[in-house]
Amino acid sequence: MNKAMFILLVVITTGLMGSSFAIGKIGLKYFSPLFLVGLRFTIAGLLMAAIVILFKRTHPKKPKEWLKIIVVGIFQTTGVMGAIFLSLRTITAGESSILTFTNPLLVVIFSTLFLGTDYRIVQWMGVIVGFLGVFITLGAKLDVQQFGTFLGLFSSVSWAIATLLLKKWGSNFDTWVLTAYQMLFGGILLLLTSLVFEQVKMSLNTLSIVILFWLAIMASIVQFAIWFFLLQKEDPGKVSSFLFLAPFFGVIFGWFLLNETLHISTLLGGSLILLGIYLVNKPKQGILETD
C-alpha cells in the first residue's frame, strides 16, 4: 500500500471513530442514550452477521466459544459504548472522547498487573505523560458533580479489559465473526438495559434516522472494515500508533458540530494524552529502549 493511501485510510477510520461522539450527542435530542447506542450496535451487528454468514466465515461451534464472544461484547460494546453515550449527557463530546481513548494507557497497567507483561521505559513514560494529560484535561480536579467524567473513565477501563480479553482469546476466532457477534450481543444487552433502567425516548425524523444509520453503518461497520484492513495490510504496531488521532477528531467534531469551547486545559491535556498514547505504541528502536 502506498503512503498516500495509508494516510487517507487512517484519517478516514480515526475520523469516523471521533465523529461518533459529537454525532451521538446530537442524537440524544431524539433518543434516550442507552436506546440509541443499543439500536446502533444491534443494527450494525445484524448487518455484519449477515455478511459473515453470506461469505461463509468460520463460526464458533462450541457454547463456550459463544460465551467468550458474549463476554467480549459486554465489555467492548455494552460497557464502553453505554458509558460513552451516558457521559455525553453531562460532559462535552471532546472530553468524553479524550477520556475514552486513554484506554491504551490502562492496557499497559492492567497487562503488567494481571498478565505479567514487561514494557519498555518509554512506554511507562507514555503512561505517566498520558495520565498527567487526563489530570490537566479535567482542570486539575475531579468534579464529582460531573458524573459524565467518571463514565468517560469507566468506558476507558471497560475498553482496556476488552483489549486484554481479545489478546487472550482473539486468535481463536475469525476477526470478522468476533466483531459482528460481539456488537450484536452487546447491542441487544444495551437495548434490554434501556428498557429496564431508562425511560425510552425515540423521535423519528429525517435527521434522527440519518444519525442512527451514520452511527450504525459509517461509524461502526465501515470504520471497523477499514481498521481491520489496515491491520492486515500493515504492521499492527504502526497502525495502532495512529489511534491517538481519534480523540483529536472527537474534539474537532465537537467544536465544529456542537460549538463546544476549546478550553486551554482540554487542548493541553489532550495533547499530552496523545503524546502518551504515541509513546505507549512507539515501535521498539535503538538500544536505549530495552525490555
Give CA–CA dist 272/107, Å, rounded: 17
**What is the reported pLDDT for 48?**
96
Domain assignment present for residue 290? The answer is no
Domain count, the chain: 1
Distance of CA 8 to the CA centre of its chain: 20
CA proximity to 153, closest of 79, 236, 248: 79
CA atoms in the 13 A half-sphere facing the CB of 195: 7
H-only helix segments in the chain: 3-27, 33-54, 63-73, 80-87, 93-100, 103-110, 121-137, 147-169, 175-197, 206-213, 223-233, 236-240, 245-258, 264-281
pTM for this one?
0.86
**What is the reported pLDDT for 291?**
42
Domain assignment present for residue 288? The answer is no
Domain assignment present for residue 222? The answer is yes
Helix (H, G, I), strand (E, B) or coil at 145: coil
Domain assignment present for residue 291? The answer is no
Give CA–CA dist 147/126, Å, rounded: 27
Domain assignment present for residue 287? The answer is no
Domain assignment present for residue 127? The answer is yes
CA proximity to 96, closest of 31, 130, 146, 32: 146
Domain containing 44 equals 3-281
**Which residues pair with residue 202 across a beta bridge?**
31
Residues 6+ apart with CB under 8 A from 54: none
Give CA–CA dist 36/58, Å, rounded: 30
Longest dimension (CA), the chain: 59
Residues 6+ apart with CB under 8 A from 206: none
**What is the reported pLDDT for 288?**
40
pLDDT in tens, the chain (291 residues): 788 898 899 999 999 999 999 999 999 999 999 999 999 999 999 999 999 999 999 999 999 999 999 999 999 999 999 999 999 998 888 888 888 888 888 888 888 888 888 888 988 998 888 888 877 876 655 454 568 888 999 999 999 999 899 888 988 899 899 999 999 999 999 999 999 999 999 999 999 999 999 999 999 999 988 988 887 787 666 677 677 788 888 888 999 999 988 778 778 888 888 888 888 877 665 434 444
The dihedral region occupied by 74, where left means phi > 0, alpha psi between -120 and 50, and beta the remainder, is alpha
Residues 6+ apart with CB under 8 A from 226: 9, 12, 13, 16
Domain assignment present for residue 207? The answer is yes
**Which residues pair with residue 31 across a beta bridge?**
202
Domain assignment present for residue 55? The answer is yes
